[in-house]
């Protein structure tokens, strides 16, 4: 038996992670971090990824002005840091200090990588699409990084530290721990 879901929660049916930490920065200002659960690849050639951010967020301004962002993939032990980055505004606090995270210079864009994360996509905005109360930032991936022991063309989720952190809503997360291989 199925039950009706509130439309305001309908996105949670299909979006349960992975949650990412997106860094942004404008020249002359401190970098910022926002926790984002609405992220998806949209093209392989060229490599494009889309993130969805509400207009009132500080990161929205930074990405709109700079045209750059970095998608950082946190490991499963970083739920507390993800929550910190999702609950406070970069207008008011330095989220790197608040969440005890370390900025590392990126190679192709101004916003930094987050050292503690296990993967990174350096992106340049190719398109912005207004989508209701959010903006869809479509970025071309110009450099990609991953922890070598945790990624070999796909995540090794069955290795300690390689588990993805999935946001279920509110303070709730899940962790992927097992790879399922379908044999024909």
**Token pair for residue 63?**
């990405």
Split into its structural domains, the chain has a count of 1
**Least confident interval from 60-69, 131-140, 142-151, 157-166:** 157-166
**Is 92 inside a domain boundary?**
yes
Task: Evaluate the CA torsion angle 117, 121, 124, 125 in order and state its sign.
Answer: negative
Structural domain includes residue 144 = yes
Residue pLDDT, tens place only, 41-52: 888 889 999 999
In a domain, 180, yes or no: no
CATH number of domain containing 70: 2.30.110.10
Q: CA-CA-CA-CA torsion for 108, 112, 117, 123, nearest 10 degrees?
A: -40
Of residues 85 and 17, more confidently modeled: 85
Q: Domain range spanning residue 118?
A: 15-175
Task: With respect to residue 88, please indicate whether it lies within any of the assigned structural domains.
Answer: yes
pLDDT, one tens digit per residue, over 25-77 is: 999 999 999 999 999 888 888 999 999 999 999 999 999 999 999 999 999 89
């Amino acid at each position: 038996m199925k039950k009706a879901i509130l439309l305001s929660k309908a996105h949670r049916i299909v979006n349960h992670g992975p949650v990412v930490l997106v860094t942004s920065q404008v020249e002359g200002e401190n970098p910022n971090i926002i926790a984002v659960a609405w992220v998806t690849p949209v093209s392989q050639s060229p490599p494009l990824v889309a993130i969805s951010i509400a207009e009132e967020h500080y990161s929205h301004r930074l990405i709109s002005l700079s045209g750059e962002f970095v998608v950082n993939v946190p490991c499963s032990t970083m739920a507390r840091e993800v929550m910190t980055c999702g609950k406070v505004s970069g207008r008011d606090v330095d989220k790197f200090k608040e969440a005890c995270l370390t900025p590392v210079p990126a190679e192709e864009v101004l916003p930094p990588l987050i050292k503690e994360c296990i993967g990174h996509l350096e992106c340049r905005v190719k398109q912005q699409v207004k989508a209701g109360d959010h903006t869809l930032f479509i970025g071309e991936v110009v450099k990609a990084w991953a922890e070598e022991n945790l990624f070999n063309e796909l995540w090794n989720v069955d290795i300690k530290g390689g588990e993805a952190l999935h946001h279920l809503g509110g303070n709730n997360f899940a962790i992927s721990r097992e790879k399922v291989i379908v044999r024909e």
